[in-house]
Structure 1
């Protein structure tokens, strides 16, 4: 095969789709089922404007990826007939305290300078007109940020990659690499050895364990995010609501609201704590009081991959040039999925990537990676 991808989440699947479209023979291995872990746990916000309030290396990628989604989703749907829950109602970024209001106004001013056509400030009365069930004492910043069903989008990337010839091997775990004459030629898996010209490690928070097999220490850590969902008799929201205190409320199909998310660092456990549920619902009811009368549906948790400096790793191994590491997208894996596939495709083809990828290099200054012997 040309390329072996370790990891069947949204990042691995988007890369597989892009490479398959370019004619590569691709195999994806996944230790569990496709589109699991953080890819299925995410709320699906494409928050290019809501996530960043100051200059950040991810912003050019985030804006480019967000702009790609309408055409990408149309392409995926044509190939797979999977509906991904595309919602263009926008997002309300809100403050719930005076301190948050000060931060939010700076956030708004930052984007007003860069993309004034994509953000606007709403007074409390304007918020009420737009979203009658939202309590807004301080007003809000409205952005064009969309949202999707994260699991369905992940599955759509995978199924579209299959339609283009990619082979997926679920329940196949990689545990070591095959190195011959200072080159990685294959991967040892629970289903036997697999050989490929190029190997991409894209298994989220579990990437560091495999990278260590190639003497590469990545300064990453898992962050557990817990979520709650409730059902309403009638729709309460059209737009996504995202408070500066970290609470978000995302309206989904069939009058379902997803409320998230906690952020518990250095945890691989996926249990949901009672205190987290209490905190999430309390914050949500502060913003949308009618949630108090909704029907509780379920809770879940996902493990998100975070890096020490907050930037993902997207690039070649410093010693083995045919091995690429693509991970560490943290809360932006869904948003960055479309552009990540294209960037990695360009890298593997030796083309110039139309972005500054230095901040995402495995050897970046301050990236806190270590190659050891």
Structure 2
């Protein structure tokens, strides 16, 4: 019963799915999700341990802890290419500033009319796209699979950051995103984004668009064939995209486009951590947003909070996320991603291996389909292995 689960307790199938740490802690690995282990400070889980699991590199994690959401992790498009500009240095270390589309070295492959130009696909100013289209199929409910196009948003600090010349470490690279969500699963349940198949990565016009408004037309693959939803390319707009192309900014819902998620994406090669906190309604909140417990809706525009006292507008007085925990683990209390710098001086003009990471919060989309399936609002985390190169 709920009283067995401590403060804020909820008893689900004989196990505490909410409550204080003493009652929700695991006792054996069997209490944890697949791939997780039960650990605590004395290594025997007496008195309630914590379920821990690793986060895969090259993978995207999103949403809160209810196990019924979209299966994780999501597959991140590979072979992304982004240019930042060095406008000045502090103590010999570069200060990063945003690039315009005209700053991007070219010419690159020609791009179809109505799609982002080559420069717009690799710059870091507002309106530039970040990476290839991101496919998020939902095998459990194919009709609510989505295609996400990430555009760099016009928010303070966009495209700025800092790096360390002697080690290649990226201390920060702020790339706030407006993640455009296209609900495409009903027409394309597996690939969800239009694909660019049969070609060779980076070879201009070598592929053919599969699905969407340019179905059957030439395209240039921008990712490898990661799974059945890839390769993708901005040459191939999402199925049923309004006007047969990706939208500008974040307009009203139309066609398969249902709205934008504003994500504060900040990359680094160090460690980023999110730690849960408790509110009156939930014991393990990573990304709180003000909520109206009467109507059952979140404040719009999204209002971030870390305590109920932050929420003072109307009936939006409860600070919470979609459910306890993170990434389909209702007992999660900490998220940590650690990047890897090159650890060599990067002024030699060579390419050096580097992994950038980000741990961030995702607000509600206010869509009655997307939020339950994505467990939003909630946390997000990603690790992006690649290479860094200084171009004089």
Query: TM-score normalised to the size of structure 2?
Result: 0.23
User: Which protein has the larger Cα radius of gyration, Structure 1 or Structure 2?
Assistant: 2
Structure with the largest fraction of helix = 1
Could you say which structure has the greater relative contact order, defined with CA pairs below 8 angstroms and 6 or more residues apart? Answer: 1
